[in-house]
Amino acid sequence: MELVKLIIDGREVEAPAGTTILKAAESVGIDIPRLCYDPDLSLMGSCRMCVVEVEGNRLLPASCVTPIMPGMVVNTESPAVVEARKTILELLLANHPFECMTCEKAGACKLADYAYRYGVKDSPFTGEKYCYAIDESNPFISRDLNKCILCGACVRACEEMTGQDNLSYLHRGYHRKATTAGDVDYIDSDCVFCGQCVAVCPTGALTEKTMKGLGRRWEIERVRTTCPFCGTGCNFDLAVKDKKVIGVLSNPDSPVNGRSLCIKGRFGWDFIYNENRLTTPLIKKDGKFEQASWDEAYDLIAKRLNEIKAQYGPDSFAALSSARCTNEENYLVQKFTRAAMGTNNVDHCART
């Protein structure tokens, strides 16, 4: 692989040919602001927050789409770059609601983070402002286009990660918006409620409706776990506050699925606290179920299985396992069936 040498912020950097300036900078720990860039999505280069100064180039190229060249000298925080980023932020804030005190994305909003980083408190640009109705039709996703910065991340995620093409751009100029086909409400669109758009949105335009009012990002503990709904083995983080699960957040480091999740994995967690969920073993006594301890339940199971095996033989027993179980759990089921019960009558719902 051909390696290219260049200078970024006075540091010599070596990266494979074709690497973008942004990726080359990341490889040596230099953080370049970005809004439309996402490592899981196609390159767009539209937000211009990632502009840098390249010596010999009078323009400020977007680092996320500009490949490195031999001998290139790059400055990521020069006065010209900082001024350009401040102006971009001021333009974005000119039509952005200042609702940071109550916004669900507070603490996880890139726009707010960069405004703080560059000391941008308000915008000198005045004029007409958006006044879109907040779309709460979707049972899982809240959509506030007044906070949309047109980064296109949701559009690309819907097309490239989910393959649904439910979102696209509508209109031009000031009236341009990232929305559903025909600009219908989410509930009336082809949305499959996977929440991929929420996972990539850098602002409060798209938020998890199921987590609304339950906790800020800095109050949440993230606990990695495996989705229980199928055998794919997707990983995600449980959002835990005060020792209670309040939602699911996708994790880009998940080895199986990255940030991709289906509707069940992202929004199907509330069964944990369903009032109909069994939280203790039940044993039928005199025709009625009564609560029992785990030891009592296990002793009864072992006793009855031994009695059935002794009376009717090993082949009277059969075990059916599930794709919702982990490989380790399925292994234990078949081992118990063969080693403890003495039969090969074991099957699996996903075998066919």
pLDDT grade for 62, boundaries at 50, 70 and 90: very high
| pLDDT value of position 349 | 76
Specify the pLDDT at position 299: 95
pTM score of the predicted model: 0.84
Cα–Cα distance measured from residue 45 to residue 262, given in angstroms and rounded to the nearest whole number: 28
The pLDDT assigned to 229 comes to 85
Which CATH number does 3-77 carry? 3.10.20.740
DSSP reduced 3-state for 330: helix
The band of 224, judged by pLDDT with boundaries at 50, 70 and 90, is very high
Angle between helices 110-117 and 79-93 (to 10 degrees): 130
Q: What is the pLDDT of residue 326?
A: 78
Band (pLDDT 50/70/90 cuts) for residue 352 is: low
Model confidence over 20-39: pLDDT tens digits? 999 999 999 999 999 999 99
Residue for token pair 């997707």: 234
Sequence ranges of the domains in the chain:
3-77, 313-352
Which of 310, 305, 347 is CA-nearest to residue 330? Answer: 347
Share in percent of the chain as helix, strand, coil (round to 5): 30, 20, 50
pLDDT in tens, 75-100: 999 999 999 999 999 999 999 999 88
What would the pLDDT profile of 297-329 be if each residue is shown by its tens digit?
A: 999 999 999 999 999 999 999 999 887 777 888
pLDDT at 351 over 80: no
d(C-alpha 246, C-alpha 297), whole Å: 31
Residues 6 or more apart from 137 whose CB is under 8 A from it?
Answer: 185, 186, 187, 188
- The answer on pLDDT for 173 being more than 70 is yes
pLDDT of residue 325: 79
Query: For the residues 164-188, what does the mean pLDDT come to?
Result: 91
